[in-house]
A and B are shown apart, each in its own frame.
Chain A
Amino acid sequence: MFCFKENELRKNKISWFFLEGFVHMIDENPSVREGYARYNMYTKLPIYINPNEKIVGNMNWALSNELIYNNVANQEINEYNLNLFRESEDFTRTEKAVVEGYIRKIKPYTLNDIEDRLSPDEQKISRSSAGGSNHFNGHMIVDYDKILKIGLGGYRELLENYMKESETERDYHFYNGLLYALKGLQEYIYKHAEMAQYLLDNKVEGYNQEDLEMIIYNCKKISNEAPESFIEALQLFWFIFMAADYDSYGRFDKTMYSFYMNDRKHISDEVLESYLKYFLNKGEQNRGILNMTIGGTECDGSSSVNELTWLILKAVSDLGYKSPNLCVRIDADSDQKLYERVHYNLSKGQAIPALYNDKIIIPMLIAMGIEKEDAYNYSLAGCSQVIIPGKSNFCCDVGVYNVLKILELTLHDGYDKRIDEQVSIHTGKIEDFDTFDKLYKAYDEQMMYVIEKGVSINNKDVLFRKDMPSSIRTLFTEGCIENAKAIFEGGAVYNAVQSEVIGLTNTANALYAIKKMVYDDKKITLKELVSALDCNFKGYEELQSTLKNKVDKFGNDCEEVDSIRANIGKRFYEYLSEFDGPIGGKHWAGEVIFQSHMNLAPFTLASADGRFDYEPLADSAGAAQGTDVNGPTALIKSVTKIPYTYPTISRNLNLKFPKDLFREEKDKIIALFRAYFKLEGCQLQINVVDKEELLKAQQNPENYKNLVVRIGGYNDYFVEIPKEMQDEVISRTGQNI
């Protein structure tokens, strides 16, 4: 039951025990099936405690929901992991045969065959990449406030009461399934106390007696009771965080504040700071995106910044990890002291925190139908998706739209040249587009068609998950227990389907280039232009150069192209949000692009902005790579012309500054941030590096292991990202003067 080598944990990479439990209950109600699978996994997983740990729980990703649904459900990752598993020497042949058997049995219950469930028309749009699903489970923040308040025992009581009073058999099973998962989790936590006791009793070398005693006390207590001290709260938080996906800590400074302040009465600041650092270290060891939101404004207008906010900023900077993906809620009028601390952290080259504009996001959420109090409590998850902690299932990142592909289809009457197939509707031959307006109208029709298909693909994708109760998320999200509905049945208070929209910048640049070259200046016919695109500019090198270098691009405060960007964005968001989600709420757009601008590149042929076949698309809401040549103020002006009153889940802007300028011009940089927020910018993320430094890092990765860069809402070690993505980060213009 206990394990003494960390690599023994890896045996559980494919959730062996989860599969075993799932198969055991395969004919039962979905909630029971999954709840029991979790129970089986939690109770059988080996326990490992590192020497010198004060906060325990090292499940790597064995417990993660991500794993269960993405690795069992996502075909691509699944195949990859299966192959790893098949080649692994950690398993005997018999073990492998057993697991293969499980996987065969579980397959019909996963998203594996989702493509087959789509209609032929939907499949075509999905194949073209214009609209489709990421098959992603979405980002979530569970109700940490309530968990810390009532403890796991409190939840158990709640569940048992609901079970007793359940009116239908289905509801009874629903609660029973959740209870299985909860009991498993409780037992799992308790086993850490037993493991520590074992280490203590046997005086195992390398372990500190005091630490072990504390672990025993904490784990025993929080396996059922509500935590009281800061360290107990951190320990429980950590277990729940792992079980709930390693996704986001929510508004950590707010959630943990009372525990921290209570302890300050009798524990020194140094000790409390060290506890916080142990906690952050757990996150770093276990990897993942690990969003943490701090700061912000309260409903009554007062500042949410507290003592813990400052401590977190300090600890994150001291540690210098890539995690957590720290997000500071701020606005144009926030305290200068906060801006200065943020500047200090960023100037160390850590690329965190990112900044989020309360004055834009909160009113937008209210306009989207979210209660004022909840809107003020928003937090970030995933890359930078806006979430209502403990109350929402926005199915973030479930959908993905490639707007540049839509323009490509428009120029080919719905035909996708890459796969030689008529994938979309007929909207006219290029000969018919004798005015720009006619072309634009055709684009609009294609866009509407793609959205309609995309919506139905994503609806199917989301609905399919109703039999995947995601017990932990369901258990700890307000509304689910009360409504006897799992998270993907629409149990949460707020629901939506959020999709990433990629390529708006390239599309605006391309549309503007077509307007200017073909219709305004009449330098070339549309037919010639499309011929050039069709052969990837081979033999049209001059045209490519003109399109790329001599036509205005979005990101330079040039009115005409910026307004096309604003209009096509607004139109897209508006039309998408006309559609209802399958489990309540609406379809929402976002421009928080982590790597889709790279992933979609292989599907997207040459475009009229001078982009070649398969080149990356512009990331997030910024300019296309290397096209913002008028410095950060012009880029900010362009980006903030995109209206923000339409439902979008965050819209990101990356700014990159050379280190020396960023450090030496603190006041001016802060003034730049304030102006961005005053102009109603939504989100800002900063890389403080210089191009030469990045090139050096590419050449001598061993010397730059700590160099962290931001990639669309997410940050990673530069030397650990693939070469193409490194090149992409380099080519994003450094706002260097």
Chain B
Amino acid sequence: MKGIVFNIQKFCVNDGPGIRTTVFLKGCPLRCKWCHNPESYIKNPQLCYEDFKCVKCGKCVSVCPQKCHWFDENGVHHIDREKCIACGKCVSECMAQALKITGKSMTAEEVIEKVLQDKIFYETSGGGLTISGGEPFFQPDFTLELLKLAKREKIHTCVETSGCVDFKNISKCLPYIDLLLWDIKETDPILHKEYTGGDFNLVLENLKKVCDKKIPIILRRPIIPKHNDRIENENFIENLIKTNDNIISVQKMPYHNLGIHKSVSHGMKKQKDYSI
């Protein structure tokens, strides 16, 4: 089975216990305005172009079968994102490393092979595999396959989710998950909808269902200045912890603005800087 992976990052020390390898899956139901990984919005591979690296050699123009690349009279490099099929022909020609494809179709076995390379570090540190994204349950069958393979190798598993998905997709993976990292982005349903595009009631409903299954959960709360850093959110989360034994802790995730650069390089509308 194949899934779309946009990064496999080793020596992750912030995505669960111990030294971990985090597998980032592409595709997400939410559109958080401050998203750190906007390149994970859509599931399919995408062309990433970093203007500052481009040396304007024009090689990409000549190899592109879709004629997406063009330079205007001022020498500015344009990419017609509508036409791009992310074939990667321009990437192999680009010596300046300005172009790359974000998202790669990989089999679960290929991914696990990479994850297993660091098994000894999981053993000495109590670490393992973390599946993140995007939204892992947006590729539920692939996530399930990865988890099964990891458990077969006796590797600790952790999934980071927004919880904003159909519960049956979460449910079928639960037997293979040792720890859930559950995002609470905003607790006011109206603001939640505004900031993320998702339904907070679904997040909450799913969280309650998961709590019944006795899976350890760490809540993750991104702190976006002047947006969701209100005391009401803090109180709501504290109450969640009090009423659910299997919620171990809450982890505050400070905002960083690396998403801005990524939104531009993937041809999206430039993200707002929430640090200002």
Interface residues of A (CB under 8 A from B): 332, 541-542, 545-546, 549, 557, 630-634, 637, 661, 665, 667-668, 671-672, 674-675, 678-679, 735, 737
| Inter-chain contact B13/A675, CB cutoff 8 Å | no
| A667 close to B125 (CB less than 8 A) | yes
In contact, A675 and B125 (Cβ under 8 angstroms): yes
The distance from the CB of B50 to the nearest CB of chain A, in whole angstroms, is 14
Query: Which residue of chain B has its CB nearest to the CB of A673?
Result: B124
Let me know if B117 and A737 touch, CB within 8 A.
no
Across the interface, B13 reaches (CB within 8 A) one of A332, A630, A668, namely: A668
Of B4-12, B41-49, B67-75, B209-217, the segment with at least 4 beta carbons within 8 Å of chain A is: B4-12
Cβ-closest 10 pairs across A and B: A671-B125, A631-B11, A545-B95, A671-B124, A542-B95, A675-B124, A674-B124, A633-B11, A675-B121, A675-B120
**Contact pattern, B 1-23, Cβ under 8 Å of A = 1, otherwise 0:** 00000000111110000110000
Q: Which B residues are CB-close (under 8 A) to A661?
A: 13
Residue of B nearest to A674 (CB): B124
Judge whether B13 and A665 touch: CB under 8 Å: yes
Query: Is B96 close to A, CB under 8 A?
Result: yes
Interface pair A631/B10, CB less than 8 Å apart:
yes
Closest B residue to A679 by beta carbon equals: B120
- CA A105 – CA B124 in complex, angstroms? 63
Category for how many chain B residues contact A: 10 to 19
Supply 18 further A-B pairs (C-beta < 8 A) apart from A634-B117, A737-B12: A542-B95, A545-B95, A557-B117, A633-B10, A633-B121, A668-B18, A668-B127, A671-B18, A671-B125, A671-B126, A672-B11, A672-B124, A675-B120, A675-B123, A675-B124, A737-B9, A737-B11, A737-B13
B171 interfacial by beta-carbon distance below 8 Å: no
16 A-B residue pairings within 8 Å (CB atoms) = A549-B97, A631-B9, A631-B10, A633-B11, A633-B19, A637-B118, A671-B125, A671-B127, A672-B11, A672-B19, A674-B124, A675-B120, A675-B124, A678-B124, A735-B11, A737-B11
Distance of A557 Cα from B125 Cα, bound (Å): 19
The 8 A CB mask of B90-128 against A (1 = contact, 0 = none) is 000001110000000000000000000110110111110
* CA–CA, A638 and B124, complex, Å: 18
Q: Which residue of chain B lies nearest to A546 when distances are taken between CB atoms in the complex?
A: B95
B10, B12, B117 — most chain A CB neighbours (10 Å): B10
| Nearest chain A CB to B88 CB, angstrom units | 13
In angstroms, Cα B10 to Cα A17, docked, is 60
B residues with CB within 8 A of A: 9-13, 18-19, 95-97, 117-118, 120-121, 123-127
A630 near B10 with CB under 8 A, answer yes
- Bound Cα distance A386, B146 (Å): 45
Which A residues lie within 8 Å of B95 (CB)?
A: 541-542, 545-546
Known: A661-B13, A737-B11, A737-B13. A672 touches B96 (CB 8 A): no
B-side contacts of A545, CB under 8 Å: 95-97
- A333–chain B nearest beta-carbon distance, Å: 11
Chain A residues whose CB sits within 8 angstroms of the CB of B120 once the complex forms: 675, 678-679
Count of A-B residue pairs with CB < 8 Å:
61
Contacts of A675 in B (CB 8 A): 19, 120-121, 123-125
Please report the C-alpha to C-alpha distance between residue A737 and residue B95 in the assembled complex, in whole angstroms.
Answer: 25
Chain A nearest Cβ from B254, distance in angstroms: 13
CA distance in complex: A679, B121 (Å): 10
Distance A634 CA – B8 CA, assembled complex (angstroms):
12
B158 to chain A, nearest CB (A): 15
Question: Do A672 and B125 touch across chains, with their CB atoms under 8 A apart?
Answer: yes
- A671-B118 contact in complex given A661-B13, A737-B9, C-beta closer than 8 Å: no
- Asked, given contacts A541-B95, A668-B18, A671-B18, whether A634 binds B121 with beta carbons under 8 Å apart, the answer is no
Report chain B residues within 8 Å CB of A667.
125
Q: Determine which residue in A542, A546, A679 has the highest number of CB atoms from chain B within 10 A of its CB, and name it.
A: A542
> Within 8 Å CB of A637, what residues of B?
117-118
A188 to B9 alpha-carbon distance, docked (Å): 62
Q: How far is the CA of A541 from the CA of B118 in the complex (A)?
A: 36
How many angstroms from the CA of A305 to the CA of B163 in the assembled complex? Answer: 51
For residue B19, which residues in chain A have a CB less than 8 angstroms away from its CB?
A: 633, 668, 671-672, 675
A557 nearest CB neighbor, chain B only: B117
B121, A671: Cβ atoms closer than 8 Å = yes
Query: For residue A632, which residues in chain B have a CB less than 8 angstroms away from its CB?
Result: 11
CA of A389 to CA of B29, assembled, Å: 66
Name the distance in Å between A103's Cβ and chain B's nearest Cβ.
56
Q: Report the bound CA distance from A737 to B127 in whole Å.
A: 17
With both beta carbons as reference points, the residue of chain B lying nearest to A678 in the complex is identified as: B120
A634 CB contacts on chain B under 8 angstroms = 10-11, 117-118
Instruction: Find the residue from B18, B121, B126, B127 having the highest chain A CB count within 10 A.
Output: B121
Q: Which residues of A contact B125 (CB under 8 A)?
A: 667-668, 671-672, 675
Minimum CB–CB distance from A340 to chain B (whole Å) comes to: 15
Min distance, Cβ B155 to any Cβ of chain A, angstroms: 14
- Which residue of the partner chain A has the closest CB to B125? A671
B38 CB to nearest A CB, Å: 19
Q: From residue B121, how far is it (CB to closest CB) to chain A in Å?
A: 5
CA distance in complex: A679, B124 (Å): 11
A541: B residues at CB distance < 8 A: 95
Within the complex, the shortest CB–CB distance from A612 to chain B, in Å, comes to: 15
Cβ of A199 to closest chain B Cβ, rounded Å: 57
Smallest Cβ-Cβ distance to A677: which chain B residue? B124
Q: Nearest chain A CB to B249's CB is how many angstroms away? A: 16
Complex contact B9–A672 (CB within 8 A): no
Chain A: CB-nearest residue to B20: A668
**Distance between Cα atoms of A631 and B97 in the complex (Å):** 20
B residues less than 8 Å from A737 (CB atoms): 9, 11-13
B5 to chain A, nearest CB (A): 15
In angstroms, how far is the closest chain A Cβ from the Cβ of B100?
11
Give the Cβ gap from B97 to chain A, nearest Cβ, in Å.
Answer: 6
Give complex CA distance A370, B273 in Å: 64
The winner among A542, A633, A634 for most chain B CB atoms within 10 A is: A633
Q: Across the interface, which residues of B come within 8 angstroms of A633, CB to CB?
A: 10-11, 19, 117-118, 121
Residues of A close to B97: CB separation below 8 A: 545, 549
The interface residues of chain A lying within 8 Å CB-to-CB of B12 are 737
User: In the complex, A675→B120 CA distance in Å?
Assistant: 6
Question: Which residues of the partner chain B approach A672 to less than 8 Å between Cβ atoms?
Answer: 11, 19, 121, 124-125
Residue of B nearest to A634 (CB): B10
Report the Cα distance A332→B96, complex, angstroms: 43
Q: How far is the CA of A31 from the CA of B11 in the complex (A)?
A: 58
Q: How far is the CA of A332 from the CA of B123 in the complex (A)?
A: 12
Nearest-neighbour CB distance to chain B for A637, whole angstroms, equals: 6
Output the residue of B19, B96, B123 with the most chain A CB within 10 A: B19
Distance in Å: Cβ of B98 to nearest Cβ of chain A: 11
Name the B residues within 8 Å of A549 (CB-CB).
97
Cα distance A557–B95 in the bound complex, in angstroms: 24
**Whole-angstrom CA separation of A735 from B13 in the bound complex:** 12
Contacts of B127 in A (CB 8 A): 668, 671
How many Å lie between the Cα of A634 and that of B12 in the bound state? 12
The residue on A at minimum CB distance from B120 is A675
Chain A residues near B117 (CB-CB < 8 A): 557, 633-634, 637
The chain B residue sitting closest to A640, CB to CB, is B120
Shortest distance between the CB of A193 and any CB in chain B (Å): 54
In the bound assembly, the distance between CA atoms of A671 and B19 in angstroms comes to 8
Q: B123 to chain A: which residues have CB within 8 Å?
A: 675
Q: Which residues on the B side are within 8 Å of A665 (C-beta)? A: 13
Q: What residue in chain B is nearest A671 (Cβ atoms)?
A: B125
Point out which of B11, B12, B123 has the most chain A C-beta atoms below 10 A from its C-beta.
B11
CA A541 – CA B18 in complex, angstroms? 43
Nearest-neighbour CB distance to chain B for A657, whole angstroms, equals 10
Residue of A nearest to B119 (CB): A675
Cα distance, A549 to B97, chains bound together (Å) = 8
**A632 to B118 Cα, complex, angstroms:** 11
Residue from B96, B125, B126 with most neighbouring chain A CB atoms (10 Å):
B125
Q: Inside 8 A of A679's CB, which chain B residues have their CB? A: 120
Distance from A562 Cβ to chain B, minimum over Cβ atoms (Å): 11
Give the distance to chain B from A667, nearest Cβ to Cβ, in Å.
Answer: 7
